[in-house]
A = this chain, B = another copy of it.
Amino acid sequence: MTQIKNIGLFTSGGDAPGMNAAIRAVVRTAIYYDIAVTGIRRGYDGMTKGDFIPMNRKSVSNIIQRGGTILKTARCDNFRTPEGRKQAYDQLKKHNVDALVAIGGDGTFTGAKVFGSEYDIPVIGLPGTIDNDLMGTDFTIGYDTAINTVVEAVDKIRDTAESHDRLFIVEVMGRDSGLIALRTGIAAGAEAILIPESKGGMEGLFNRLEHGRKDKTSRIVIVAEGEEAGGAFEVGRLVQEKFPHYDTRISILGHIQRGGAPSCMDRVLASRVGAAAVEALRDGHRNEMIGIIHNEIAYTPFEHAIKHHIEINPNLLKLVEILSM
Contact = CB atoms under 8 A, between A and B. Distances in A.
Interface of A: 11, 14-15, 17, 19, 21, 24-25, 28-29, 31-32, 42, 57-58, 61-62, 64-69, 72-74, 138, 144, 147-153, 155-160, 162-165, 168, 183-184, 186-189, 213, 215-216, 249-256, 258-265, 267-268, 271-272, 275, 294-295, 313, 316, 319, 322-325
Contacts of A17: 159
A318 to B, nearest CB: 9
A159 B254 contact: no
A149 B138 contact: no
9 contacts: A14-B160, A25-B323, A32-B322, A42-B165, A64-B187, A65-B158, A155-B260, A156-B258, A253-B256
A17 B159 CA distance: 9
Given A252-B254, A295-B138, A264 B147 contact: yes
Nearest to A218: B62
A186 B149 CA distance: 21
Given A72-B164, A322-B29, A323-B25, A254 B251 contact: yes
Contacts of A183: 264-265, 268
B319 A275 contact: yes
A50 B260 CA distance: 37
Interface of A is mostly: helix
A272 B29 contact: no
Nearest to A153: B256
Q: Which of A152, A163, A253, A295 is packed against the most chain B CB atoms within 10 Å? A: A163
B155 A259 contact: yes
A271 B315 CA distance: 12
Greatest chain B CB density within 10 A among A42, A58, A272, A323 is at: A323
A12 to B, nearest CB: 11
B189 A155 contact: no
A189 B267 CA distance: 9
A150 to B, nearest CB: 7
A255 B163 contact: no
Contact of A157 (B32, B73, B159, B259): B259
Point out which of A19, A152, A252 has the most chain B C-beta atoms below 10 A from its C-beta. Answer: A152
Given A25-B323, A29-B323, A164-B15, A156 B259 contact: yes
A258 B32 CA distance: 34
Given A64-B187, A187-B265, 12 more contacts: A32-B325, A65-B155, A66-B159, A67-B160, A72-B165, A74-B165, A157-B255, A160-B259, A183-B264, A183-B265, A250-B254, A251-B255
A278 to B, nearest CB: 10
A48 to B, nearest CB: 16
A64 B189 contact: yes
**Max count, chain B CB within 10 A of own CB: residue among A14, A186, A275:** A186
